[in-house]
Structure 1
Amino acid sequence: MSTIIYVGLGSNEGDRESHLVAALTALSRIDAVAVLRCSSLFDSAPVGPPQPRYLNAVVALDCDLSPQRLLVILQQIEKDLGRRREQRWGPRTIDLDILFCEGQVVADPHLQVPHLELHKRRFALEPLAELSPALQHPVLGMTVKELLGKLAPQDVRRSEATAWPEASLPSNET
């Protein structure tokens, strides 16, 4: 059964946009996944220890895999693109997080969906709101747009893209 899954992408090492494009390319090559839409790019201050700024985006996927199976593939993509897991919340070439699985809640030792920190993170909510502002958080009962409206200002701003696909907004959700 096909599900719409929203994945957050982030990078703060090297050529950040190239890392995001490489991850998007890898996502598009998964047999049971179709990339539906991509948000704009957003530049944001890091969470955690001092480190370079992040470049973030969100992609909507039509996915025939379970969230757990998709997570395994995302972690392999991260590894293939040079991700090292040496420090919690440390710098990374690429970070891929499952933010939402439309209509599903996943709570197991290795995966929590919706992402547990999503409602606190403007760098994830801003691009997600571009793609699906009316998407409802199944636990908090609020839309992405409402969650974004409740957040205090954070150091997040839209960034110009050179190789990243232009944001594609559904006409009925703008």
Structure 2
Amino acid sequence: MSTATVYVGLGSNEGDREGYLVAALEALSRIDAVVVLQCSPLFDSAPVGPPQPRFLNAVVALDCGLPPQRLLTILQRIEQDLGRRRDGSRWGPRPIDLDILLWEGEVIADANLQVPHLELHKRRFALEPLAELAPHVKHPVLGVPVKELLARLDPQDVRRLLATQWPDLSPLVNES
């Protein structure tokens, strides 16, 4: 079975934010046909939407041998297992949020899944950690590298944080 590199955004703004991200990472590492390749550093960011606590964000690179819809189903199950409730409040606080940001060589557009993530190019909280892992990967629709998308953004309230539990699986090579 062929595999692809997939970039998944992780976010949490309830409870032990870093603990939820670590638990999600552990769950991702237990998925058959998925290998966690790298983890970005952690970033603290202001929420998008209604007033709520700040988010902790990261991005992980996966080597994935699953079809996109199957990975989405597993990600939603991990969210549910970690306490996420989908009660209609789309932009509300949540213990965990897992989003497929980019799928190597794929553009996916169906009712349940949009890849690349539709708002990726506008969101510093996703682009900052993604640029740590894949600065030269091009957005498959816009044709622009991640680091250039990041450079185009206006400043947003996003700052790098030191981790206490989050592993250091950062890139082995600095792609400047």
TM-score (norm 1): 0.98
- Alpha-carbon shift at residue 103 of structure 1 (Å): 1.0
CA RMSD of aligned residues (A): 0.8
Per the alignment, residue 52 of structure 1 pairs with 53
User: Using a 3 Å threshold, how does the CA distance of structure 1 residues 12 and 122 change in structure 2: closer, same or farther?
Assistant: same
- Alpha-carbon shift at residue 170 of structure 1 (Å): 3.7
Per the alignment, residue 150 of structure 2 pairs with 148
The answer (yes or no) to whether the contact 2:6–2:103 under 8 Å persists in 1 is yes
- Alpha-carbon shift at residue 112 of structure 1 (Å): 0.2
Q: Distance in 2 between matches of 1:88 and 1:26?
A: 23
User: Using a 3 Å threshold, how does the CA distance of structure 1 residues 126 and 167 change in structure 2: closer, same or farther?
Assistant: farther
The answer (yes or no) to whether the contact 2:8–2:98 under 8 Å persists in 1 is yes
What secondary structure, in the 3-state scheme, does the structure 2 residue paired with 1:72 have?
helix
The answer (yes or no) to whether the contact 2:8–2:59 under 8 Å persists in 1 is yes
What secondary structure, in the 3-state scheme, does the structure 2 residue paired with 1:9 have?
strand
Per the alignment, residue 30 of structure 1 pairs with 31
State percent identity of aligned pairs.
75
Per the alignment, residue 162 of structure 1 pairs with 164
- Alpha-carbon shift at residue 169 of structure 1 (Å): 1.9
- Alpha-carbon shift at residue 172 of structure 1 (Å): 5.0
Q: Distance in 2 between matches of 1:145 and 1:46?
A: 22
- The correspondence of residues 127-138 of structure 1 with structure 2, limited to 5 A, is 127-138=129-140
Amino acid at match of 2:119: E
TM-score (norm 2): 0.97
Structure 1 unaligned blocks of 5 or more: none
Per the alignment, residue 109 of structure 1 pairs with 111
Alignment length (residue pairs): 174
List 4+ stretches of structure 1 deviating above 6 A: none
- Alpha-carbon shift at residue 167 of structure 1 (Å): 4.7
Structure 2 unaligned blocks of 5 or more: none
Pair 1:17 & 2:18 matched:
yes
Q: What per-residue deviation string (whole Å, max 9, x for no partner) do you get for residues 26-61 of structure 1?
A: 000001100000000000000011100000000000
The answer (yes or no) to whether the contact 1:131–1:170 under 8 Å persists in 2 is no
Pair 1:90 & 2:92 matched:
yes
What secondary structure, in the 3-state scheme, does the structure 2 residue paired with 1:55 have?
strand
The answer (yes or no) to whether the contact 2:45–2:158 under 8 Å persists in 1 is yes
Amino acid at match of 1:68: Q
The answer (yes or no) to whether the contact 2:37–2:169 under 8 Å persists in 1 is no
What secondary structure, in the 3-state scheme, does the structure 2 residue paired with 1:23 have?
helix
Q: Distance in 1 between matches of 2:169 and 2:131?
A: 12
The answer (yes or no) to whether the contact 2:124–2:156 under 8 Å persists in 1 is yes
